[in-house]
Amino acid sequence: MNNLDSALQYTAKNRQKFIKDLNELLAIPSISADTNGKPAMENAARWIEKSLQNNNFDTVKIYQTAGNPVVYGEKKTGKKNAQTILFYGHYDVQPVEPLGEWESEPFEGVVRGDYLFARGASDMKGQYIACLKAIESILSTGELPVNVKFILEGEEEIGSPNLEDFLKQHADLLKCDVVVNPDTGMIAPDVPTITYGLRGLAYFELRVYGPSSDLHSGVFGGVVHNPGQALCELIAGMHSSDMKVTLPGFYDDVRPLPASERAELNRLPVSDQDYLDQTGAPALWGEDGYTPTERLGARPTLEVNGLYSGYIEAGAKTVLPSYAMAKISMRLVPDQDPQKVYDSLHLYLKQNAPETIRWELVNMSGAPACITNRDLPAVQAMSRAMERIWGKTPVFRRDGGSVPVVTHMQEILGVDSILTGFGLPDDHIHAPNERLHLPTWEKGIQVLICFLFNLAE
């Protein structure tokens, strides 16, 4: 049996052990948005460190940053002139609210049917473990065909505020031929997917202030502008009736979609009904003139991520609130600039906010969109690996999400990222009952093994 086949066999035999190890990592509540969560972040970083040490990595180190630590690991192959692959991942997860909607504890991995349920199972502790277990499978049965490096950050879910600096300070350490970033998923269990484009992100908090303190709505209703209402009016005005974003100049820099790429994108085996099934929405919605797939991957959007004003507990309180807040974010496409998007929103507010309220716009995070060359040898090696394991060539798509690190890798390290991953659209990431489809995940581990061997051919 050759080295590749032995490694694949090891994977097949160790299913339960792999899940057990993943469950250990899932049990650590590493919510980066939780300002009281520092100890959990440290625990998660140490767990990652240990997991690399257990595989006899040459170097494993935790680097402190201004925020959460970065874990780095490196293992060289004995083979000459071997390529170096950098695996990127993040060990932080999204908050778990609303807790009441979880069917099992968010930080206790539970298998039900083909799925493993827990916060982070799909996004992306499960993806890190897939990479780790691919390496373990190879090392347990032979030698690595290429050099591998790992970088795991703990702030992806809050916009990676310290990663850019880290990459700049450690550019030599992180030198590599290509990055594998398994933080994007697949379209369906039978559709292996490589993502070559990602949307960027600009995230804001809009605060609207009315009277200097909460008022009695009977005593003052009718003489001051309700900031909750004013906020709604501002947000309502951000979309036109054809569902385009109205912010001045918002579409100015948007790279148009060539007809050939539109044709390719619309070959993706996803129907309107699929989107309805995945979301449970009563009907689809979105910018006139584009298909859902185009809107998701290649068109910018504006979303309300949070709304707050006044009294929101059970029952009735006749308050005229002094304050209202919205979290608002935009998904960006090439060549939109997050700073210009901020300017655009700011100008909209300047032009549209009435004098009856005060407002403040907080710029929380921003990253441009990015796109990867589909002809890269490493991309082709991944494509062939998927073909071997799934028996079909992968589809290439542009993803609606944002992975700022991909842009940073390109700008700072000068390397492209292969964007893949073994999560599915209905994994409920960022939502209650997040889950991982185990059969797909196991195929993913096998794909990663094949990919590494393909690189050495």
Residues 190-209 that bind its own copies (CB under 8 A): 199, 201, 203
Q: Which residues pair with 72 in a beta bridge?
A: 61, 151
Under the binding rule (CB under 8 A), the answer on residue 119 touching its own copies is no
Pairing of strands 84-90, 147-153: parallel
> Contacting its own copies (CB under 8 A), which of 317, 350, 374, 392?
317
Under the binding rule (CB under 8 A), the answer on residue 223 touching its own copies is yes
Could you give the CA distance from residue 149 to residue 134 in angstroms, rounded to a whole number?
13
Considering beta carbons, is residue 140 or 352 the nearer one to its own copies? 352
Look at residues 97, 90, 29 and name the one whose alpha carbon lies nearest to residue 431: 97
Write down the least CB distance from residue 354 to its own copies, Å.
Answer: 8
Could you give the CA distance from residue 365 to residue 345 in angstroms, rounded to a whole number?
14
Under the binding rule (CB under 8 A), the answer on residue 189 touching its own copies is no
> Which tokens is 4 given?
């590749």
Could you give the CA distance from residue 195 to residue 297 in angstroms, rounded to a whole number?
10
Write down the least CB distance from residue 200 to its own copies, Å.
Answer: 10
Under the binding rule (CB under 8 A), the answer on residue 314 touching its own copies is yes
> Which tokens is 403 given?
């992975």
Residue 122 contacts residue 436 (beta carbons within 8 Å): yes
Taking CB under 8 A as the binding criterion, the range among 142-150, 246-254, 336-344, 431-439 that sits at the site for its own copies is 431-439
- Per-residue CA distances from 108 to 42, 70, 117 (Å): 19, 24, 8
Taking CB under 8 A as the binding criterion, the range among 2-10, 132-140, 146-154, 394-402 that sits at the site for its own copies is 394-402
> Contacting its own copies (CB under 8 A), which of 61, 340, 346, 430?
430
Under the binding rule (CB under 8 A), the answer on residue 226 touching its own copies is yes
Considering beta carbons, is residue 63 or 308 the nearer one to its own copies? 308
Write down the least CB distance from residue 323 to its own copies, Å.
Answer: 9
Q: How many residues bind its own copies (CB under 8 A)?
A: 99
Could you give the CA distance from residue 64 to residue 185 in angstroms, rounded to a whole number?
29
Under the binding rule (CB under 8 A), the answer on residue 408 touching its own copies is no
Contact mark string toward its own copies, 39..78, x via CB under 8 A: ----------------------------------------
Taking CB under 8 A as the binding criterion, the range among 49-57, 125-133, 232-240, 442-450 that sits at the site for its own copies is 232-240
- Amino acid identity of residue 166, one-letter, is F
Under the binding rule (CB under 8 A), the answer on residue 233 touching its own copies is yes
Collapsing DSSP to helix, strand or coil, 428 comes out as coil
Under the binding rule (CB under 8 A), the answer on residue 251 touching its own copies is no
Residues 332-351 that bind its own copies (CB under 8 A): none
> Contacting its own copies (CB under 8 A), which of 5, 20, 54, 97?
97
Please list, residue by residue across 257-283, b when 16 or more beta carbons sit within 10 angstroms of its beta carbon and e when fewer do. beeeeeeebeebebeeebbeeeeeeee
> Contacting its own copies (CB under 8 A), which of 16, 56, 81, 213?
213
Under the binding rule (CB under 8 A), the answer on residue 363 touching its own copies is no
Taking CB under 8 A as the binding criterion, the range among 48-56, 222-230, 410-418, 448-456 that sits at the site for its own copies is 222-230
Under the binding rule (CB under 8 A), the answer on residue 215 touching its own copies is yes
> Contacting its own copies (CB under 8 A), which of 256, 258, 282, 391?
282
Between CA 68 and CA 78, with CA 73 as vertex, the angle to 5 degrees is 170
Q: Is the dihedral of CA 400, 405, 410, 415 positive or negative?
A: negative
Under the binding rule (CB under 8 A), the answer on residue 210 touching its own copies is yes
- Per-residue CA distances from 55 to 48, 50, 144, 451 (Å): 11, 9, 12, 19
The CA-based dihedral angle spanning residues 69, 179, 134, 110, taken in that order and rounded to the nearest 10 degrees: 50
Query: Which residues, in sequence order, are CB contacts of 125 under 8 Å at separation 6+?
Result: 22, 25, 26, 91, 93
Under the binding rule (CB under 8 A), the answer on residue 30 touching its own copies is no
> Contacting its own copies (CB under 8 A), which of 41, 152, 324, 449?
324
Considering beta carbons, is residue 278 or 339 the nearer one to its own copies? 278
Under the binding rule (CB under 8 A), the answer on residue 99 touching its own copies is no
Taking CB under 8 A as the binding criterion, the range among 45-53, 128-136, 252-260, 421-429 that sits at the site for its own copies is 421-429
Query: Which residues, in sequence order, are CB contacts of 386 under 8 Å at separation 6+?
Result: 192, 194, 392, 393, 394, 447
- Amino acid identity of residue 211, one-letter, is P
Residue 440 contacts residue 424 (beta carbons within 8 Å): yes
Under the binding rule (CB under 8 A), the answer on residue 431 touching its own copies is yes
Under the binding rule (CB under 8 A), the answer on residue 33 touching its own copies is yes
Taking CB under 8 A as the binding criterion, the range among 49-57, 233-241, 251-259, 443-451 that sits at the site for its own copies is 233-241
Residue 178 contacts residue 415 (beta carbons within 8 Å): yes
> Which tokens is 350 given?
């300047």
Under the binding rule (CB under 8 A), the answer on residue 421 touching its own copies is no
Under the binding rule (CB under 8 A), the answer on residue 356 touching its own copies is yes
Between CA 54 and CA 61, with CA 60 as vertex, the angle to 5 degrees is 135
Under the binding rule (CB under 8 A), the answer on residue 311 touching its own copies is yes
